[in-house]
Amino acid sequence: MRIGALTLQSNLFLSPLAGYTNLPFRLVVREIGGVGLCTTDLVNARSLLEKNKNAFKLIETRPADSPLAVQLFGSVPEEMRDAAAKLESLGFASVDINMGCPVRKVCNVGGGSAMMSELAKTAALVRGMVNAVKIPVTAKMRLGWDDDNLTAPDLAHALEDAGIAAIFVHGRTRQQGFGGTVSLAGIRAVVQAVKNIPVIGNGDVITPQAAKKMLDETGCAGVSIGRGAFYNPWIFQHTLEYLNGARLWSQTQPQHAGNCEAAAAGASHTAALPSDVALPPEPTFAERVRVMCRHLDLMIEVFGEEPGCRMSRKIAPWYAKRFGPCHEFNKRVVQVSTRAGFHEVLENYTRWRQQFLDANGELQPRFRPPPLVVSFMREEPASTQGEQIPVPKGPVEVW
């Protein structure tokens, strides 16, 4: 797929997750494969221009970490413009603008002409950036403030006119935070509001089937994955394989309706897919451990041994969510500060975990972790099914 002049290997994107989507994690995801474009954590435009050390650490990259977008945060047009130009001169592939809920003030007073002026202001900021660089400038937003103020379609339309190259939209309102259901209809409304640019859907995609459903039912051009990637860095490769399998299968069907027609009809092909459109197998315990250790090594390489290990204390428990019983691991891993200490914890845990395995070395069924629930694929009330994907703490207002 293409975003402006940029050609991507796939239509799957890594969403920015402040504090998580740093260079080591991006390299982990890219080594597994399947991702088309990664984005950095959000970076303050002014800090970048002031050559702030922390801001530069956030954009640290290397050739294997390509193509890479930097997400900028800021509201002063000149600063955003100059920061975009700086990023272009440093060789980044694109610039994304964080618009968590850009028309917040306007939504609070109920829209009207004030909304139009706010939109005009945002569009002017975007135009300034677009005119200053050749690389694509994209925007990431939510659906709006609340269900009565779904401003994303109007904003997307105005931004397309201002030259934005793509829109990323998380299918929830600001008021929802991370609760409730991702609205596929809300994402579809944004898709329908633009003429030519790609819209990339986002929110709660934690399985390949969820990615397919979002693509089919919204007509979006791609899917962006945040927490699902942290929980399961294999998700891009697995989704790509699944989508390719589904595409090959649908080409053999006599009356296949394309995505747009299906989206217009609100239809999904998911139910019709035969079971031989197989999901790639879940990674084994050994593979999860291998990737977790690679992640740690990269954290140490990029941040130094003690800081890298300290930062990994919040990373390792995400891998452990699929280990089966893991409290013995989690309890100890949050105390490690050396690589050797980490491996000692892991070895002790691997021995302890054997009590939960069967004769083939697989987790006995009753110890297997429950499936995660995709909000927009839930058929029963939330309380009767598996778990929701966890939400790390942080400033939701800017996400």
Which residues contact ligand FMN (rule: CB under 6 A)? 15-20, 41-42, 71, 98, 140, 170, 202-205, 225-228, 391-392, 394, 399
For the CB of residue 356, give the shortest distance to ligand FMN in the complex, in Å.
29
CA dist., res. 188 & res. 398, Å (int)? 23
CB closer to ligand FMN out of 18 and 187: 18
At 322, list the tokens.
Answer: 């699929």
CB closer to ligand FMN out of 260 and 391: 391
CA dist 261 to 65, 247, 376, Å? 36, 15, 20
CB closer to ligand FMN out of 110 and 390: 390
Secondary structure (DSSP) of 74-137: ---HHHHHHHHHHHHHTT-SEEEEEESSTTHHHHHTT-THHHHHHHHHHHHHHHHHHHH-SS-E
For the CB of residue 54, give the shortest distance to ligand FMN in the complex, in Å.
14
CB closer to ligand FMN out of 111 and 203: 203
Closest residue to ligand FMN using C-beta atoms = 226
For the CB of residue 228, give the shortest distance to ligand FMN in the complex, in Å.
5
CB closer to ligand FMN out of 98 and 209: 98
From the list 38, 101, 107, 309, the catalytic residue is 101
For the CB of residue 93, give the shortest distance to ligand FMN in the complex, in Å.
17
For the CB of residue 338, give the shortest distance to ligand FMN in the complex, in Å.
26
| 8 Å CB contact between 96 and 39 | yes
| 8 Å CB contact between 99 and 71 | no
CA dist., res. 358 & res. 324, Å (int)? 13
How many residues are recorded in the chain? 399
* CA-based nearest residue to 314, from 18, 38, 14: 18
| 8 Å CB contact between 45 and 68 | no
CA dist., res. 23 & res. 257, Å (int)? 40
Please confirm, yes or no, whether 293 is among the known catalytic residues.
no
Enumerate the active-site residues: 101
